[in-house]
Structure 1
Amino acid sequence: MTFTAQGLAPVTNPLNSVLVEKKLINFDQKFIQLVSLAEGLPRTEVLESGKNYWRGVCRSAIFRFPDDLEILKLDARSYVDRSKGIIQIRSAARLGQSDLGVNLRRVEYLFNQLEKF
């Protein structure tokens, strides 16, 4: 997948993918926590891990269908308070026209677990 200074690639099919962006306090720490949560998801393989960007592939339990999962920490230089920033998570099915809500649930799970830290 690709990203620019504006963020992750847009969703092309809302029936099988989701892109969620949240403005968070202590977003450097939150990014690290989200990456840790993502790496702990079942059947997830890390493809790329960097200071501001993480990418992996999550596979379904039975048929092992691949879904791309990306986490991006956007640059905070434009904010007065540098502890605040935006984190985007994109989860998208590689195959099929519908994911039956799996990708949305995955992203919601990650953000819900983040609140427990």
Structure 2
Amino acid sequence: MLRSLLSLVLTTTLALSAMVGLAQPVHANPTNAMHLAALPLIGNLFSGQRPSNLGVKDGKLAPCPSSPNCVISQGSPDADHAIAPLQYDGDPSAAMEKLVAVVKAMPRTTIIEQTNDYLYAEFASQLMGYVDDVEFYLDPAASAIQVRSASRLGQSDLGVNRKRIEAIRSEFS
């Protein structure tokens, strides 16, 4: 009985293998390898170059460009770019510490520079890896953290920079 069962399993396996085809080992294909090697380059294609005008100068963050893919809490006369700063009560260093924790908890975020009164982070989009530059300046005279969030590439960000700052505001409060 056992012998006939094993014979049936073997026959069935051979028949199915003949119909479907035997599994072939995968061999490296240099053409496919070149396509795979290009993936990091494609990701970098959408990251753009880090701007050289970032940072705080005379107590101000850099102004937004004319494109609508930027928001700033300092000095923007138009509603498309203007956004309220983050407000805090109490110790400025505790506020900065809390802000750093909120930013670090966000997905696809890299903190590039951090001082007692300044934070600069890069946020990458999930699908194409577009990078946005986000800056925070702790302004103790105003008991506020000034913000600037700008896309490196393109014209429209579909409101992503504004939504990001509002998400940070809600976590920060």
Q: TM-score range by the shorter chain?
A: 0.7 to 0.9
Equivalent residue for 1:66, pick from 120, 131, 145: 131
Asked if residue 92 in structure 1 is aligned to residue 150 in structure 2, the reply is: yes
Q: CA deviation at 1:111?
A: 0.7
| 1:35 equivalent in structure 2 | 100
User: Whose helix proportion is higher, 1 or 2?
Assistant: 2
User: Whose strand proportion is higher, 1 or 2?
Assistant: 1
Structure 1: how far apart are the matches of 2:67 and 2:170? 21
Q: Where does the alignment leave 5 or more consecutive residues of structure 1 unmatched? A: 77-83
Q: Which runs of 4+ in 1 moved over 6 A?
A: none
- What's the Cα RMSD here? 1.7
Q: CA deviation at 1:33?
A: 1.0
Structure 2 vs 1, CA of residues 32 and 88 (structure 1 numbering), >3 Å: closer, same or farther?
A: same
Which runs of structure 2 are paired with 1:45-84 in the superposition (5 Å)? 45-76=110-141
Q: CA deviation at 1:24?
A: 2.9
Asked if residue 113 in structure 1 is aligned to residue 166 in structure 2, the reply is: no
Residue pair 2:67, 2:155 contacting (<8 A) in 1 also: no
Structure 2 residue matching 1:98: 3-state secondary structure: coil
Structure 2: how far apart are the matches of 1:113 and 1:14? 28
**Identity of aligned pairs, percent?**
31
Q: CA deviation at 1:14?
A: 5.4
Q: CA deviation at 1:46?
A: 1.1
| 1:7 equivalent in structure 2 | 60
Structure 1: how far apart are the matches of 2:172 and 2:91? 11
Structure 1: how far apart are the matches of 2:138 and 2:98? 12
Structure 1: how far apart are the matches of 2:87 and 2:68? 25
